[in-house]
Amino acid sequence: MAADYYEVLGVSRDVSAAELKKAYRRLAMKYHPDRNGGDDSAQDRFKEIQKAYEVLKDPEKRATYDRYGEAGVSGMGGGPQDFGDINDIFGDIFGDIFGGGRRRQRQQSRRGQDLRYELSVELEDAIRGVTKEIQIPTLGSCQRCHGSGSSSGQHEVCATCGGQGQVRMQQGIFSVQQTCPNCGGSGQTIKDPCLDCNGSGQIRETKTLEVQIPAGVDTGDRIRLAGEGAAGGQGGPAGDLYVDIIVSAHPLFEREGDDLFCEVPIPMTTAALGGELKVPTLGGSVMLKVPAGTQSGKLFRLKGKGVQSVRSRSVGDLLCRVSVETPVNLTREQKSLLEEFQTISGQGGGHHPESQGWADKVKGFFDRMGL
């Protein structure tokens, strides 16, 4: 009784072409005579697998087989002619996985490399936006040979790979394809290399570019300049240039997202009695009201005085952190007045609540430690 080709390959009758091929590869690798040391049963099984696959992989033969069975395809060349090379099976598998394979077409040209450039900008320029001129070392297309690498513009088929751009390395039953070392995968060689670029099609040059920096950029933002990277090989397209923004440290402001932080020193008297301070913002100075009894470290928020985001119309805030400054280089009169203030302050409570609270915590700690 004739075997059912679908059962031979272990697949259903509605199997897709991709699943059919996958099932064949798995069984072919298992029963191939090269892997079974002359086992007659494995050889017979392999013939059966190959015969079934030769019919079912062809849509026309498969339709005939589905309708009439093995008798319908017996005269259509369904039987295998030989065992085939096990390396062909490996080659197909590796080709599917890595995008290669025996039928991979070589590329005549290669895209140039992308380049990266770090650009430092002042905070003011990052906030307002600015145009910067930069100079970058790069590989440009050779003008003499127009990027072809050949003085005459002609190329020859690579003798090593026969123009395929790939060579096969054989190790036992394994066969792995690699990029041809002679032509670099192009499949062509140059008989008369260009004198300016020595056949590479590229020359080193310094390129001057203008970079438009939009308002609101911050450290870590990246600007892409299409086609301004390294020139492509064999006349291929150039890569891109990526400009990474680094905002320099500022003497007054620190930026966090769209907010700005500013440290503002205030006299001890202003902190105690209250008053007004002139503080800088991106739009000019503004007056900041300091209430009486302000402690060092207090944060004041000025709404809408930060940075407008490069990605939206939202504007951050300016946060001013006050730092109460202790007076230095006191005159005798100033010292006398402070000593008098100290004496007076010691006679009544409630003038230094933070100090008193800290002292209470210390006393509680010593009591718990038995000290």
Which fold does the domain 5-84 belong to in CATH? Helix Hairpins (1.10.287)
Q: Which is more confident, 362 or 356?
A: 362
d(CA 187, CA 289): 76
Q: Tell me the torsion sign for CA atoms 22, 23, 26, 32.
A: negative
User: Is the model's pLDDT at 1 over the cut of 90?
Assistant: no
pLDDT value, residue 349: 59
Domain boundaries, the chain: 5-84, 115-247, 253-325, 332-369
Among 72-76, 99-103, 334-338, top mean pLDDT goes to 334-338
Structure tokens at 338: 């402070």
Which fold does the domain 253-325 belong to in CATH? HSP40/DNAj peptide-binding domain (2.60.260)
Q: Which is more confident, 156 or 264?
A: 264
**Which stretches does DSSP call E strand in 142-229?**
156-157, 166-171, 174-179, 188-189, 202-213, 222-225
d(CA 176, CA 2): 38
Average pLDDT over residues 272-294: 91
pLDDT value, residue 97: 44
Split at pLDDT 50, 70, 90, the class of 81 is very low
pTM: 0.53
- What kind of architecture, by CATH, is found in domain 115-247? Ribbon (2.10)
- Dump pLDDT digits (tens) for 206-233: 889 999 999 999 999 999 999 888 877 6
Other beta carbons less than 10 A from residue 34's beta carbon: 15
**Identity of the residue numbered 130:** V
Q: Percent of the chain, pLDDT > 70? A: 84
Split at pLDDT 50, 70, 90, the class of 141 is confident
Question: What is the Cβ-side half-sphere exposure of residue 258, based on CA atoms within 13 angstroms?
Answer: 17
Question: What is the Cβ-side half-sphere exposure of residue 172, based on CA atoms within 13 angstroms?
Answer: 2
d(CA 220, CA 1): 72
User: Is the model's pLDDT at 36 over the cut of 60?
Assistant: yes
pLDDT value, residue 242: 94
Q: Taking all residues of the chain, what is their mean pLDDT, rounded to a whole number?
A: 82
Domain 5-84 shares a fold with domain 253-325? no
Instruction: Indicate the SS3 state at residue 183.
Output: coil
